[in-house]
Amino acid sequence: MGLRRFLKNFFYKKKFEKKKYINNISDQKILITGCNSGIGLALTKELLKSGNYVFGVVKQNSNNINKIKSSNLKIITCDLRKIENYDQIEKNLEDIKIDLVFNCAGMFGGSSDEQSITGFEIEKLKDVLMANSLSVMLIAKIILKNSKPKVIVNFSSDAGSIKLNKGGDYYYYRISKTALNSLTKNMSLDLNGKFGTTVFSIDPGNVATNMNPGGIIESEKCAKLILDLISSNDKELNGKFVNLLGDEIPW
Ligand SMILES: NC(=O)c1ccc[n+]([C@@H]2O[C@H](COP(=O)([O-])OP(=O)(O)OC[C@H]3O[C@@H](n4cnc5c(N)ncnc54)[C@H](OP(=O)(O)O)[C@@H]3O)[C@@H](O)[C@H]2O)c1
């Protein structure tokens, strides 16, 4: 690793160092998608530890989440790309009042060539849009039948910021996260007015996960920072696109 890269990573990590994290979330019923790996798995573990009930959505593979032995965990299998799978979520949440939702599931979609303006395939773009953006609306529609959730967190990325886009390419990922940001803003207006729900988009940053093996923050630390953010200022986050420190990112 070059010196410049080393220093950049060093100062990036430094920004997120905190002595103490607040997590005052307990006794809540929480839906987390993408809970078999990365940030979703780390959030699931933290929230179970602090005494919540978690409904964890997996695409198919549940090898990691299955290792957690807890009577407060219900695993739901739903490939979010497939509309016919959503009845699994509906069935498992019948008569359940969900308090918090973490829409963490996401897919990157392929290499820059595969996602380029000359290389993209429309069916793949539709899949990424379903998994990364439209799933959030479908899940909200199911939950809102019974629940007035307090918080909905949508996992976005600075790659979805129109203003910050200096690089081009990555059509699937960028478009899907931009769409997610748009529906975050819309839902924040609708649901905050009706139920007082806080809806916001978060860019979790550069986190070491399957999606980003070269990431420099551990998923456990990322999860703690997100819970700290919600515990400290959930009301102020409504309708915003923020990083792990709560700083706003331009849409
Ligand atoms: N890590 C970063 O640096 C970074 C940066 C910016 C934004 N993000 C966002 O953070 C979120 C969490 O990602 P991560 O970094 O924790 O990566 P990850 O470990 O790959 O987690 C993504 C999760 O989403 C699940 N998923 C993907 N497609 C799905 C589908 N069709 N149906 C249901 N579940 C599906 C995956 O399940 P399978 O493994 O079974 O496919 C996986 O468990 C994503 O939305 C990502 O875009 C991450």
Do residues 77 and 55 touch, judged by C-beta distance below 8 A? Answer: no
The pLDDT tens digits of the residues spanning 69-124 come to: 999 999 999 999 999 999 999 999 999 999 999 999 999 999 999 999 999 999 99
Residue bearing the CA closest to ligand 1, atom 19: 38
Residue bearing the CA closest to ligand 1, atom 16: 38
DSSP code of residue 113: T
Candidates 39, 62, 82, 128: which one to mutate for ligand 1, based on the most atoms within 8 Å of Cβ?
39
Q: Is the CB of 36 under 6 A from ligand 1?
A: yes
Which ligand 1 atom sits closest to the C-alpha of 36?
43
Structure tokens at 159: 């790659």
Do residues 168 and 121 touch, judged by C-beta distance below 8 A? Answer: no
The pLDDT tens digits of the residues spanning 151-176 come to: 999 999 999 999 999 999 999 999 99
Residue bearing the CA closest to ligand 1, atom 46: 106
Going by their DSSP bridges, the two strands 100-103 and 207-208 should be labelled as: unpaired
Of all residues in the chain, the percent with pLDDT exceeding 70 is 99
Residue bearing the CA closest to ligand 1, atom 9: 155
Domain 3-11+25-242, what architecture? 3-Layer(aba) Sandwich (3.40)
Domain boundaries, the chain: 3-11+25-242
Cα(137)–Cα(121) distance, integer angstroms: 23
Q: Is the CB of 160 under 6 A from ligand 1?
A: no
Closest CA to 218 of 26, 41, 25, 66: 41
The pLDDT tens digits of the residues spanning 196-235 come to: 999 999 999 999 999 999 999 999 999 999 999 999 987 8
**19 pLDDT tier (thresholds 50, 70, 90):** low
228-237 long-range CB contacts below 8 Å, 24 or more apart?
228/18, 228/21, 228/22, 228/23, 229/202, 230/25, 230/100, 230/151, 230/153, 231/22, 231/23, 231/24, 231/25, 232/22, 234/150, 234/151, 234/198, 235/198, 237/198, 237/200
